[in-house]
């Protein structure tokens, strides 16, 4: 229990990068995760090594392929004379190595199913407390010197360096809470899970993250469709399959009935989209233009490497002149993006494109293959909350490079283990 608490606390604090001392390369989250690694590794050595379970096998195959892809990219960059920041390359190598160890240790052991289920409750409940403390700091209830919880004076970032780090944490906590509410066997557990998810949604909206808003909006219909699929596929006749078929059959008529309201809905949706955007409509358009410029540069760098990548480091020149032309002085004051320099130090802020520049086509295929395995497992086990989580992470990854975050790999481990455990009935669950 204490070991699990260490990991849960470390995962949450790993996003609190403002709490990291400037003189040290590690913060409280990383220190707790490293402490958990030593304890968990010692536990496995004491029982003469972990058994090769399907989740562990899948992760080891992925990380082996990923390491080969990154190594080939590094050699390609060396052969073509690519210039990169060696400090950032070393940082990425250390991060990927730590994530390999952490993700593998999470899924080991014959009791991985119940243990991960218990840890998911820890992460969701402690996460709600963690977010409430940050919100209390943001609204002046508590004070932490040298930590600014607001970004650009409008976006809430809590104890993270930027608001998108906190938004990713909120997205994962929201969908993990949805999973816990779905598989809960008692009403009190379901209420607790919904409450944890509600806190994550509230704080996530404070970040004004477009990505979080998009994940939230898309997750609702995805989960509803998945639940309809699960109810319709039940073997025993019941009221729910009949209701599901009724909804499916009535859908065309409902669409026809709402056609006259399309213009009104469109106008309201435009207002909501403007509200969720960062700043004014013109700022959003300039931000989109900048993003497409960066994505184009990432594609060019990946193609220039012959689809092999250039190694685990940023490979895009900082588009600072574009930033200067598209952001106000006040916005630049709060910007934490890399400053212009001789060496490329900018990323595409798109997981697949960043992998394309680092590890080429093989890196993209390895991550896409892992995603397909995750989706196949949760789909077959009818774990609709976790399937929604996978889709949510995929949506978030379009606008951010998320595979270096420990909370992402915890979500991956939960999907792998829960899918495998549900097929073996290791975790008690109800279909409603």
The answer to whether residue 431 is domain-embedded is no
The number of domains in the chain is 1
Q: What is the DSSP string of 272-324?
A: HHHHHSSSSHHHHHHHHHHHHHHHHHHHHHHHHTTTS---SS--B---HHHHH
The pLDDT score that the predictor gives to residue 270 is 46
Domain coverage including residue 348: 2-423
Q: b/e for 384-409, b at 16 or more Cβ within 10 A?
A: bbbbbbbbbbbbbbebbbbbbbbbbb
Q: Give the H or E element holding residue 396.
A: helix 384-397
Q: Would you say residue 428 lies in a domain? A: no
Compute the distance between CA of residue 154 and CA of residue 328 in angstroms, rounded to an integer.
Answer: 14
> What residues does 151 pair with on adjacent strands?
155
CB 316 within 8 A of CB 364: no
| Res 273: pLDDT | 43
**Is residue 170 within 8 Å of residue 207, measured between CB atoms?**
yes
Q: What is the DSSP letter of 327?
A: S
Of 381, 387, 382, residue with least CA distance to 221: 387
For 38, residues 6+ apart whose C-beta sits below 8 A from its C-beta are: none
- 66 falls within a domain: yes
Partner residues linked to 346 by β-bridges: 316
Give me the tens of pLDDT residue by residue for the chain, a chain 432 residues long: 778 899 999 999 999 988 887 766 678 899 999 999 999 888 878 776 667 888 999 999 999 999 999 999 999 988 988 877 788 888 889 999 999 999 999 998 778 888 899 999 999 999 999 999 999 999 989 988 888 899 877 899 999 988 999 999 999 999 999 999 999 889 899 999 999 999 999 999 999 988 999 999 999 889 988 888 877 766 565 555 555 554 554 455 454 444 444 444 444 444 444 444 444 444 455 566 677 888 888 898 889 888 998 888 887 877 654 444 444 444 444 444 455 455 677 788 899 999 999 999 999 999 999 999 999 999 988 899 999 999 999 999 999 999 999 999 999 999 999 888 777 664 444 444
Show the DSSP H helices in 398-428 as ranges.
406-423
Quote the strand ranges of 152-222, DSSP E.
155-156
What's the farthest any 2 CA atoms get from each other in the chain?
A: 68
Which among 233, 229, 117 is positioned nearest to 183, based on CA atoms? 117
3-state secondary structure of 143: coil
For residue 153, give Cα distances in angstroms to 276, 279, 342. 16, 11, 31
Q: For residue 266, how many other CB atoms are within 10 A of its CB?
A: 9
**How many C-beta atoms surround the C-beta of residue 423 within 10 A?**
13
Q: How many CB atoms are closer than 10 A to CB 412?
A: 26
Burial (CB count within 10 angstroms: exposed 0-12, middle 13-18, buried 19+), residue 315 = buried
Residue 31: per-residue pLDDT: 92
> Measuring CA to CA, how many Å separate 140 from each of 10, 136, 273, 277, 301?
25, 6, 29, 25, 45
Angle at 381 between CA 380 and CA 384, to 5 degrees: 100
Element (H, E) at 150: strand 150-151
Q: Backbone phi, then psi, for 317, in 5-degree steps?
A: -65, 140
Put simply, whether the predicted model's pTM sits higher than 0.95 gets the answer no
Tokens for 230, please give them.
């699960």
CB atoms within 10 A of CB 422: 21
* Residue 105 placed within a domain: yes
User: Is 374 within the bounds of a domain?
Assistant: yes
Q: What is the pLDDT of residue 275?
A: 42
Beta carbons of 414 and 113 less than 8 angstroms apart: no
Compute CA distances 213 → 49, 207, 292, 355, 402, whole Å: 43, 10, 20, 24, 16
CB atoms within 10 A of CB 181: 19
User: Do the domain assignments include residue 429?
Assistant: no
Q: How far is it, in rounded angstroms, from Cα 401 to Cα 168?
A: 10
* Rounded Cα distance, 302 and 361, in Å: 9
| Alpha carbon distance 235, 233 (integer Å) | 6
């Amino acid at each position: 229990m204490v070991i699990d608490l260490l990991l849960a606390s470390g995962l949450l604090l790993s996003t609190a990068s403002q709490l990291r001392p400037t003189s040290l390369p590690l913060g409280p989250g990383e220190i707790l995760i490293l402490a958990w690694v030593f304890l968990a590794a010692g536990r496995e050595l004491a029982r003469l090594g972990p058994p090769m379970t399907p989740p562990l096998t899948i992760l080891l195959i992925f990380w082996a392929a990923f390491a080969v892809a990154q190594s080939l990219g590094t050699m390609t960059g060396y052969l073509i004379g690519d210039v990169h920041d060696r400090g950032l390359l070393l940082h990425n190598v250390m991060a990927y190595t730590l994530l390999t160890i952490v993700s593998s240790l999470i899924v080991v052991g014959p009791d991985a199913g119940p243990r991960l289920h218990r840890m998911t409750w820890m992460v969701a409940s402690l996460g709600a407390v963690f977010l409430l403390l940050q919100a209390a700091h943001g609204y002046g209830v508590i004070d932490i010197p040298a930590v600014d919880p607001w970004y650009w004076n409008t976006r809430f970032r809590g104890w993270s360096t930027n608001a998108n780090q906190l938004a990713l944490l909120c997205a994962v906590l929201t969908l993990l809470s949805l999973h816990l509410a779905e598989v809960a066997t008692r009403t009190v557990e379901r209420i607790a899970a919904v409450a944890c998810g509600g806190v994550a949604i509230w704080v996530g909206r404070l970040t004004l993250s477009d990505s979080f808003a998009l994940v939230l909006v898309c997750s609702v219909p995805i989960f509803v469709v998945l639940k309809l699929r699960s109810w319709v596929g039940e073997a025993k006749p019941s009221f729910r399959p009949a209701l599901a078929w009724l909804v499916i059959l009535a859908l065309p008529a409902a669409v026809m009935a709402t056609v006259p309201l399309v213009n009104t809905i469109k106008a309201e949706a435009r207002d909501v989209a403007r509200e969720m955007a960062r700043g004014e409509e013109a700022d959003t358009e300039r931000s989109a233009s900048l993003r497409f410029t960066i994505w184009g540069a990432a594609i060019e760098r990946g193609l220039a490497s012959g689809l092999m990548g250039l190694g685990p480091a940023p490979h895009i020149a900082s588009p600072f002149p574009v930033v200067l032309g598209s952001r106000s002085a006040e916005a630049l004051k709060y910007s934490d993006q890399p400053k212009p320099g001789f060496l490329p130090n900018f990323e595409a802020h798109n997981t697949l494109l960043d992998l394309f520049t680092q590890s080429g086509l093989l890196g993209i295929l390895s991550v896409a293959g892992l995603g397909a395995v995750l989706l196949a497992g949760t789909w077959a086990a009818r774990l609709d909350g976790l399937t929604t989580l996978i889709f949510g992470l995929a949506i978030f990854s379009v606008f951010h490079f998320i595979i270096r975050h420990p909370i992402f790999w915890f979500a991956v481990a939960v999907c792998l283990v829960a899918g495998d455990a549900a097929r073996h009935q290791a975790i008690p669950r109800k279909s409603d």
